[in-house]
Amino acid sequence: KMLKNLVVFITGGASGLGKATADYLLSNGARVVVFDINAPGDNNLSPKNDNPIGEVFSPHVTNSNCLFFKGNVLSTNDVETAINKAKERWGGLNVALNCAGVSISCRLYNPNNDHPLDLHEIQKVLNTNVVGNFNVIRLAAQAMAENKNEHGENGVIINTSSIAAYHGSGTQTVYSAASGAIVSMTLPIARDLASCGVRVATIAPGFFKTPLTHSNNITDEVKQFITTPNAFPNRFGDPCEFAHLVTTVIENKMINGETIRLDAGSRYEI
């Protein structure tokens, strides 16, 4: 019942964890703005298997409770336009979920070919994953501050980091740095926005079934290697399990300034 009529803004919501969360919230009566640089159903989002990850939204979702905006998290105009449309249509913004991000797996310097990582690749990850998050957070907070909730809470902002923030491999330096930044910003932003009645939390997932992890380029052997460090269960996470945790963060008022690991007890020693 708490989700009914909540207005939720989801970046990276056209596929993977963002899409699963959008579907779950919509099926429970929320109103969702999906914001993504790719449109739902784009070929690069849909894996070539029977898993529906990356497909367009579920049949029960109607245009009356879901809006899609193709945009860039680094664009103030794009984000403001989407948020303002949500306010115009539904009267405000209650939740912002940051799922947009890019990953890179590469050594900073490879002595085998005497090749340092291109600076542009480093900037791309940090800009999208860190600066993009900041951009959405500041604009979402502005919109939430306009809410007048009688219970004092005006909104919730949920960021997505990664277990790479804690123990990334030697080829994840840049991605780990970006993930760590999201973890580090969580408590200070929660303190910053406390006077506005806005809570802030971060989820740090392990490996989940997404178009990236279930592409044809990743073999079964690699998938087995990835999940071996899990304590239990020894498998990839299902995106709906991420969505359930998002719902818990939304509903539990005491979750604030915290990063929650969602990784089946996985600890990598690489």
Q: Respond yes or no on whether the N-terminal peptide bond of residue 205 is cis (omega within 30° of 0).
A: no
DSSP reduced 3-state for 70 = strand
Burial (CB < 10 A; 0-12, 13-18, 19+), residue 111, is exposed
Question: Helical H runs in the chain?
Answer: 16-27, 76-90, 119-126, 132-144, 164-167, 173-193, 220-227, 239-251
Burial (CB < 10 A; 0-12, 13-18, 19+), residue 33, is buried
DSSP annotation of 201: E
| Structure-block tokens of residue 140 | 């979402």
Known catalytic residue at 175: yes
> Which entry of 24, 109, 175, 268 is annotated as an active-site residue?
175
CB atoms within 10 A of CB 56: 16
Burial (CB < 10 A; 0-12, 13-18, 19+), residue 212, is middle
Active site residue ranges: 175
